[in-house]
Structure 1
Amino acid sequence: MYRSRKRFVWIPIFAAAACALLSWAVMYLWNTVLVAVVTVRPVTFWQAAGLLLLSRLLLGSWPGGGRGRHGGGPAWRGKWQQMSDEDKRRFKEQFRARFRPGPDDV
């Protein structure tokens, strides 16, 4: 019993270390790559941690999210599979018409 408690204490420490390492990686990559390529300001460690959290919230890349017991893949995949061949063909035509570059766009 004592051994399991001791192991339980290390879990938050490793989680905090992993978050700190990921935040440092985001900060390092932002400050070395984006500052040189795009006109953005360098970020601090805490700003990088906030960016990491924001990206996880917006993109939904939580551990096990989207795959596993709640079904896998994006929601549109199920809609696409339920569409008839005629509906798929019509959707593709509308998509191409909407996003095909016109003569002024080239």
Structure 2
Amino acid sequence: MKSTFNRNRKKFLFIPFGVAALLAIISYIVMVLWNNLLPNILNVNVITFWQAMGIFILCKILFGFGRHGGGGSWGARKMVERCKQMTPEERQQFKEEMKQKMCGWKKQNDPQNS
């Protein structure tokens, strides 16, 4: 019995080329958008293809790779998981506690209440 790698060897060989092509296309788009928009708006210099690739990679490192389908922070996903495990009574109690904690400051600092 052949392994998956041996059966799909051609597919595995194309993956690095596909990734490189995708990176090149996105870098080109970043370069074109930068060079057509930002020099006129912010008075910055035009950039080269390699600089655009560097900017794209830096943004991906800083802002994430979007693997979690729809964004959201790690803390938000963790909170959603915790809420899914709560009973309806626990969920209602949590909502009331958050309402008191989060909305109470507006009542205290509201100039109309003074």
TM-score bracket, shorter-length normalisation: 0.5 to 0.7
* Structure 1: unaligned runs, 5 residues or longer: 98-106
2:41 corresponds, among 32, 37, 41, to 37
Note the alpha carbon deviations across 1:51-95, whole angstroms, 9 max, x for none: 0011111111x1414x49xxx7222573xx86521111145x3xx
Give the match's secondary structure for 1:84. Answer: helix
Match of 2:103 in 1: 89
1:73 partner amino acid: G
Percent same amino acid among aligned pairs?
34
Is residue 52 from structure 1 mapped to residue 56 from structure 2 by the alignment? yes
1:84 partner amino acid: M
2:16 partner amino acid: P
For 2:67 and 2:18, the matched residues in 1 are separated by 19
Note the alpha carbon deviations across 1:24-62, whole angstroms, 9 max, x for none: 0000000001112111000111110110011111111x1
The count of residues paired between Structure 1 and Structure 2 equals 89
1:64 partner amino acid: R
For 2:39 and 2:104, the matched residues in 1 are separated by 44
TM-score, normalized by length of structure 2? Answer: 0.63
TM-score, normalized by length of structure 1? Answer: 0.67
* Structure 2: unaligned runs, 5 residues or longer: 84-93
**Higher alpha-carbon Rg:** 2
